[in-house]
Structure 1
Amino acid sequence: MTTSLACLADGGLSIGIEAPLDNDWTSAGEQSRRQADRRPGEPDLQRHAELAQLADRLGFRALWVRDVPVYDPSFGDAAQVFEVFSYLGYLAGITRDILLGTAAVVLPIREPLLTLKSAATVQRLSGNRLMLGVASGDRPVEYPLFGRDFVGRGDNFREQVALLRDGAQSSLPSGLDVLPRMEAPLPLLVAGLAQQSPAWVGQNMDGCLAYPGTPEDHARRVAAWRAVAGDKPYASFIHLDLSERADEPMLRWRFGLRGGRQALVAELRALHAAGVDHVGLHFRRNRRPLDETFHEIAEHVLPVFHARPAGAAVPAQEICHV
């Protein structure tokens, strides 16, 4: 059985999508938000299930969700709103092939045994499609709300990674267990360093989730990752506004770009050359309807990297046998 992590990097560079599935960071999206009386940074979730299923059918490799337990107006970003593991369980039930990843669960503010049980549940229900991205957190307001020690979050992170690795067998009294048991090792990808040394991260984590950046940024980061982690997967994200003009030149901004599909292909090729294994596309700045954008990328961009005929929607499981 091929693992979800092997599937993620199968065939070279793969392309996924990052939730929320809304373009609420556009002027039209902002107008809609105000009319609907949603909070700043709160996406419109009316079509999230339909769009997740579309991404699955079209052959996008992974769908990433974030872990934002408490809305903080100073950040102005509610992510995909839903509790991360509940949402992953729902997505597992309405999709068939697309990998499901977290980017990333903040381990030190969570109860370790419940995190293990939640992850094992999603892993079983999804047919081993889960990739658990983990982090130590970057929102200072969260730690006191959960009664957790901010200073000791690095030690807590290491302890929780050990618990996830052995299914809590070394920390439970004799005779107790956490069900369901993992059928395969749970892939753990780290966002940032999580208060650890690069050497520890490279040795103990299965992949890297990197902040968006230019190909030159990623070339440096990939080199640092490879030095401590070897050929373990390296993934990142692009905030994309895909133009209707296929040949519109690239306009780069922080965390992403505006341009036509030719510019997107060129950027993805440059990222692949820099050593990136997977790119998740983030569409909150995308001015076009998302279903239209998904179809264009599936027809003209995915075949360049997923090695399939133009327009064909070959399920990830047929490629990777997850």
Structure 2
Amino acid sequence: MNILERNGREADLKNLAKPGALARLSAGGFSIGIEAPLDNDWTLAGDQARRQAGRLPGEPDLLRHADLAQLADRLGFRALWVRDVPVYDPSFGDAAQVFEMFSYLGYLAGITRDILLGTAAVVLPIREPLLTLKSAATVQRLSRGRLLLGVASGDRPVEYPLFGRDFAGRGGNFREQVALLREGAPSRLPPGLEVLPRLDAPLPLLVAGLAQQTPGWIGEHMDGCLAYPGTPGDHARRAAAWRNVAGAKPYASFIHLDLAERADEPMQRWRFGFRGGREALADELRALRAAGVDHVGLHFRRNQRPLAETFHEIAEHVLPLFHTPSPAVTAAAEETCNA
């Protein structure tokens, strides 16, 4: 067996032995991921580079996105999250990761092995339901079960007329699309027709916001929560409300981080995140875990240091404080070593 065959077999064993994506998200009680785009274009240096390159405000540099995604995968970050922004709107000034979301996830599925791939979140009411189902099933199959499907009703009214959708009726549309994602296509198609690929397993659905629904409906029909960034105190209240309607289903959120070079640099909090050293980051993550948060995605567009350097520091000094290898992954590694 040559080295390429052996590496491929090891990856196959790891994936076959793993639990589902939702269980992996909060395995060990808490996990840390990354939110795309993988660029620090919201810094002064990043904005200067953007102007020189002729990119729009909020349009990141994507030259190293693949290398950085693979690095995050190798270093052990639990999930990589992408957003659904179909049309650039200068009033928002944010193009997200630029690429069409499901196409991008298919690409990421092919260049990564282990990291979960999440949407934060698909705006269901502006999408064609059967194509959304087909796209999600495709990514789930290509990634070998690593998809986490975050869903939402959307908050940009300008998009709805462009897609011929009714903004006021987005709540009802959202419920109908969730039912389709749950039940699959057979009940919606004439006899003999089918949407392929078939789902290998139920799609894990995590909701951003309330999506125009009641808390009770959300708690019953969703598998997890994607909460807006906030302080540990904010999350303690929100997580308690989520647990009240959803029980132990995962609760995830995000931090806009600028990781300082000094390990002990104290926290300077801002809206949606903070600047501080790795000790402040570890303290904040402990506080979020205590508040009931199961997963945190780190957003680096404000980060002033090179992202590869930052990823390495967090992987070396912070991830080991929170991540423990799951029994399934350990068993797969042992089986590979004994082969």
With normalisation by structure 1, the TM-score equals 0.96
Deviations 1:209-234 (A, max 9, x none): 00000000000000000000000000
What is the aligned counterpart of 2:114 among 90, 93, 97? 97
Matched residue, 1:189? 206
Please show how residues 121-132 of structure 1 align to structure 2 within 5 Å: 121-132=138-149
Pick the structure with more helix per residue.
Answer: 2
Structure 1 Cα separation of the partners of residues 120 and 239 of structure 2: 18
The match for 2:275 is 258
**1:224 equivalent in alignment to 2:241:** yes
User: What is the root-mean-square deviation in Å for CA atoms of aligned residues?
Assistant: 1.3
Shift of 1:92: 0.1
Correspondence for 2:329 among 313, 318, 321? 318
Check whether the contact 2:31–2:294 (CA below 8 A) recurs between aligned residues.
yes
Identical aligned residues as a percent: 82
Unmatched 5+ stretches in structure 2: 1-17, 333-339
What secondary structure is seen at the aligned counterpart in 2 of 1:11? Answer: helix
- Per the TM alignment, residue 307 of structure 1 is displaced from its structure 2 partner at its CA by 2.7
Match of 1:311 in 2: none
Residue of structure 2 equivalent to 1:143: 160
Contact kept in structure 2, 1:241 and 1:286, CA below 8 Å: yes
Q: How far apart are the structure 2 equivalents of 1:63 and 1:148?
A: 29
Aligned residue for 2:225, secondary structure, equals: strand
CA contact (8 A) 2:19 2:328 kept: no
Specify the alignment match of 1:39 in structure 2: 56
Alignment partner of 1:13 is 2:24: no
Of 177, 200, 210, which aligns to 1:160?
A: 177
**Residue 103 of structure 1 aligns to a residue in which SS?**
strand
Secondary structure in 1 aligned to 2:254?
A: strand
Matched positions, count: 315
Counterpart pick for 1:297 among 305, 310, 314:
314
- Counterpart contact for 1:102–1:132, Cα < 8 Å: yes
Confirm or deny that 1:248 pairs with 2:248.
Answer: no
Q: 1:307 aligns with which of 300, 324, 328?
A: 324
Q: Which residue of 2 aligns with 1:212?
A: 229
Name the SS of the counterpart of 2:212 in structure 1.
Answer: coil
2:268 aligned with 1:268, yes or no?
Answer: no
Aligned mates of 1:22, 1:211 — CA distance in 2:
20
Aligned-residue offset at 1:17: 0.1
Equivalent pair of 1:11/1:307 in contact (CA under 8 Å): yes
Q: What is the aligned partner in structure 1 of residue 103 from structure 2?
A: 86
Q: Contact between 1:7 and 1:320, CA under 8 Å: does it hold in 2?
A: no
Letter in 1 for 2:198: R
Q: For residues 191 and 102 of structure 1, what CA distance do their matches in structure 2 show?
A: 10
Question: For the Cα contact (< 8 Å) 1:64–1:102, is it kept in 2?
Answer: yes
Report the equivalent of 2:44.
27
Q: Which has the larger radius of gyration?
A: 2
CA distance in 2 between partners of 1:175 and 1:2 (Å):
33
CA–CA distance in structure 1, aligned partners of residues 286 and 190 of structure 2: 51
3-state SS of the aligned residue for 1:275? coil
